[in-house]
Amino acid sequence: MEPAAFSVGVDLGGTNLRVAAYTRERGLLETILLRTRLADGREAVAADLCAAARRLLDRYQLQFPLVGIAIGSPGPLDLPEGRLRHPPNLPGWDGFELRATVERALGLPVVVENDANVAALAECHLGVGKTLGANSLCMLTLGTGVGGGIILRGKTWDGMNGMAGEVGHLNIWTDGIACGCGGQGCLEPYASATAVRRMAGELIARGNAPGLAALQKGQPDFSAREVADLAREGDPIASDIIRRGTRALGAALAGLAHALDPELIILGGQISEAGDMLLEPVRAEVAWRSRCLLRRDVPVVRSKLVDPSGVIGAAALALEARGPKAIA
Amino acid sequence: MEPAAFSVGVDLGGTNLRVAAYTRERGLLETILLRTRLADGREAVAADLCAAARRLLDRYQLQFPLVGIAIGSPGPLDLPEGRLRHPPNLPGWDGFELRATVERALGLPVVVENDANVAALAECHLGVGKTLGANSLCMLTLGTGVGGGIILRGKTWDGMNGMAGEVGHLNIWTDGIACGCGGQGCLEPYASATAVRRMAGELIARGNAPGLAALQKGQPDFSAREVADLAREGDPIASDIIRRGTRALGAALAGLAHALDPELIILGGQISEAGDMLLEPVRAEVAWRSRCLLRRDVPVVRSKLVDPSGVIGAAALALEARGPKAIA
């Protein structure tokens, strides 16, 4: 029997840096978890990343052929160059040549991909996509912002500038709320955790949201989750906020379903932890908006993978990008 | 030298039926143009289609190897089965097995594709996409409705049910105008020819649109084009209608650019004949809404091909779908 080939996956986050050796047959062989030393600068972080990768390469190259190395990084990114462009979660990294830096240090070709695409790829090959047998899907990560990844026939669709998958900027209200992208009425200012907190803050300031005001009094930096909890307990104002978000999300997803006709839409990120309270109204909105054109409802499901999905996704990407052939 | 291989392309429309023999090297060898005999039923139309294809096959198979046959058909369609589903432009054709019927009659494999996708494919390989060197693009056909086709790396993206590319149902106004798809606030009821006429009619009925009222008086069934002409002449109400449409279109295209990051967006159909009056405000809206995230503006251009683009697109699809290998 052929020996299993291994890959090295890297999940570069603003808080944690994970580097892992992985084979398709055995899963994760070993994961190295480090803090991302942002305060020490990007070169220090890249050096940590390369040192960890080198340790794994030294250890596993004796046992298995190496297929490739891939890094999931916060965006925006120039792809396939792997150059960062004003990444909001990695301040000071603008223009950093992540791919070239790591390739030089390791002497090996490296693939860099947007972290949202890596998460989507992981869900496709190892998470809910695998469970449901779907290999063309859209994944939305509902967190501080609304990120996204598009997987078509098992591969990430990066677009022409590596910018595809920014589904948080599908427009759902032409004259709507200003968005961080510079536009207005995008999905993000309606359906992100930030949006939920902002809407709650505005209603508290107007003085007609007693439940939310009480929440804020006890916890000045309350989270979107607590607004959702309040809605679940029946607070009408909190429920309105959640309803506004789920309508926006349903409208955007119905549009995406019409444009791309995917097999599956996956919701991840902290907002998705609200579970059925989120999923049921979103599904109803999508179904209502697609009832005439689409042959069947597009399933909208919650992501399945938790940590370390990013590092597994990157390792899977390395296997996919390089194909079955090992690096000589 | 290898003899050029030929394909047969069919453009099945609600009014015209075009069947052509085509080679990549020589272009159209011969086109047969017929009226679509809708009143005589779908079997009669299919028989006309097959008889025309048979004539071309008999004539050109002596000279060239046949690569394939493809039909561009109004949708919705089940693909790759090539079965029609309540096509609004082919009344009475619901459930018609177009592909199987033609395959049985001709004894050859046939590819069926949505006409909007075929038009996009033709623009990619033979029209403005070829001129600009772009092979990943979105094309919108702004006519009675808003149709669309998505081409990724030179191939049509059909989606999981053959329904992809329905970009007219991207949402741009969650609480907006009811749409024929069953939803509300889709692009179609803002940016189609029908939408322009409907908005004009509503404003005339309200009694504060003297220019439009005069147009209607002289021409009760005025067209979207005449509303655009009135706007060009400076009529403020007609200009508002056009502005509303271009804003909606720009918002939808910016969302599409963020989601798919295509190389090019092409606008076709009767509304696109307005030229720069349409294109300039749409481009400005897209640029404004993408200024922070996208590395460069996505070019928005007018389609280049006119008739018989559908039949050429279908012939090109047949060549693409079957690859370089001729049918034995």
Closest-CA distance, B89 to chain A, in angstroms, reads 15
Which of A83, A260, A288 has the most B C-beta neighbours within 10 Å, making it the best mutation to test the interface with B?
A: A260
**Would you say residue B326 has pLDDT above 60?**
no
Nearest-Cα distance to chain A for B277, in Å, is: 20
DSSP structure string for A262-328: -SEEEEESGGGGGTHHHHHHHHHHHHHHHTTT-SSPPPEEE----TTHHHHHHHHHHHHHHTTPPP-
Work out the average pLDDT over B185-190: 94
Residue B1, in any domain of the structure:
no
B321 confidence band (pLDDT: 50, 70, 90): low
* pLDDT at residue A172, as a whole number: 93
Q: Are B238 and B212 in contact (CB under 8 A)?
A: yes
Instruction: Please check whether residues B108 and B173 belong to one and the same domain.
Output: no
Q: What are phi and psi of B104, to 5 degrees?
A: -65, -45
Q: Which helix (H) or strand (E) holds A72?
A: strand A66-73
* Pair (B118, B102) in one structural domain: yes
Cα separation, B292 vs A182, whole angstroms: 6
Task: Identify the three-state secondary structure at position B105.
Answer: helix
Let me know if residue A328 belongs to a domain.
Answer: no
From chain B, the residues in CB contact with A160 under 8 A are 136, 261-263
B136–A258 C-beta distance less than 8 A: no
Instruction: Report which residue type is found at A146.
Output: V
> Residues of B with CB below 8 A from A171's CB?
170-172, 251-252, 254-255, 289
| The pLDDT value given to residue B322 | 54
* A contacts of B296 (beta carbons < 8 Å): 161
- Among B114, B190, B260, which would you mutate to test the A interface (most chain A Cβ atoms within 10 Å of its Cβ)? B260
**A1, part of any domain:** no
Q: Is residue B91 classed exposed, middle or buried when 0-12, 13-18 and 19+ CB atoms within 10 A define those classes?
A: exposed
Q: What is the mean pLDDT of residues B261-277?
A: 90
CB A15 within 8 A of CB A77: no
Residues B106, B189 within the same domain: no
Among residues of chain B, what percentage have pLDDT more than 90? 66
Q: What is the overall mean pLDDT for chain A?
A: 90
At A292, list the tokens: 């005439």
Q: What is the mean pLDDT of residues A197-217?
A: 94
Q: Do A259 and B152 touch (CB under 8 A)?
A: no
Cα distance between residue B328 and residue B325, in whole Å: 9
> Smallest Cβ distance to B167: which of A173, A254, A259?
A259
- Chain B CA closest to residue A172: B172
What residues of chain A lie within 8 A of the CB of B172, using their CB? 171-174
Q: pLDDT by residue (tens digit) across A27-67?
A: 889 999 999 999 999 999 999 999 999 999 999 999 999 99
B328 within domain boundaries: no
A159 neighbors A145 (Cβ within 8 angstroms): no
- Same domain, yes or no: A55 and A30: yes
Decide if B172 and A174 are in contact by the 8 Å CB cutoff. Answer: yes
Give the pLDDT score at A143. Answer: 84
**Single pTM value for the model:** 0.85
User: Cβ A163–B254 below 8 Å, yes or no?
Assistant: no
Q: What's the domain range around B23?
A: 6-122+307-322
Say yes or no: B137 and B285 in one domain.
yes
Arithmetic mean of pLDDT, B188-195:
92
pLDDT of B173 strictly over 80: yes
How many folded domains does chain B comprise?
2
Question: Which residues of chain A are within 8 Å of residue B78 when distances are taken between CB atoms?
Answer: 295
Q: What is the pLDDT of residue B327?
A: 44
Q: Averaged over B195-206, what is the pLDDT?
A: 94
ipTM for the predicted complex: 0.84
Same domain, B143 and B205: yes
Mind listing the pLDDT tens digit for each residue in A158-188? 888 778 898 999 999 999 999 887 889 999 9
What pLDDT, on the 0 to 100 scale, is given for residue A113? Answer: 92
Q: Which residue has the tokens 């930096």?
A: A221
Supply the pLDDT for residue B188: 92
How near does any CA of chain B get to the CA of A209, in Å? 24
**Residue B75, SS3?**
coil
Question: For residue B172, what is the nearest residue in chain A, using CA coordinates?
Answer: A172
- CB contact at 8 A, B74 and B328: no
Contacts A158 to B, Cβ<8 Å:
261
Tell me, rounded to whole angstroms, the distance of Cα B88 from its chain centroid: 14
Length of chain B: 328
A61, A27 Cβ separation under 8 angstroms: no
Bigger pLDDT: B172 vs B306: B172
Q: Is residue B250 located within the same domain as residue B312? A: no
Contact A30, A19 (CB under 8 A): no
* Ramachandran quadrant class, A141 (left: phi over 0; alpha: psi -120 to 50; beta: rest): beta
Residue B327 lies in a domain: no
- Is residue A129 situated within a structural domain? no
Closest CA to A71 of A326, A323, A316: A316
Q: Report pLDDT digits (tens) over B81-129.
A: 999 988 877 889 999 999 999 999 999 999 999 888 998 988 998 889 9
Look at residue A293 in the predicted model and tell me its pLDDT: 67
Domain assignment present for A218? yes
Lookup: tokens for B132: 């600009």
Pair A208, A182: CB distance under 8 Å: no
Give A284's contacts in chain B (Cβ within 8 Å).
Answer: none
Q: Which of B165, B181, B296 is nearest residue A292 as measured by Cβ atoms?
A: B181
Query: Is B104 in the same domain as B139?
Result: no
- Sign of the four-CA dihedral A111, A114, A118, A124: negative
Extended beta strands in chain B, E state: 6-12, 16-23, 27-35, 66-73, 77-78, 83-84, 110-114, 137-142, 146-152, 155-156, 264-268, 300-302
A293 shares a domain with A167: yes
**Do residues A57 and A186 share a domain?**
no
DSSP one-letter string for B132-194: HT--SEEEEEESSSEEEEEEETTEE---SSS-TT-GGG-BSBTT--B-TTS-BSBSHHHHSHH
Q: Is the pLDDT of residue A223 over 60?
A: yes
Q: Do B181 and A248 touch (CB under 8 A)?
A: no
Q: Is residue B156 part of a domain?
A: yes
Q: What digits encode the pLDDT tens for the residues B222-258?
A: 999 899 999 999 999 999 999 999 999 999 999 999 9
CA distance linking residue B275 with residue B283, whole number of Å: 12
- Whether residues A12 and A99 fall in one domain: yes
Q: Domain containing A148 — which CATH number?
A: 3.30.420.40
Residues B76 and B162 in one domain: no
How confident is residue A286, by pLDDT bands cut at 50, 70 and 90? very high
**Whole-angstrom distance, CA of residue A152 vs CA of residue A121:** 10
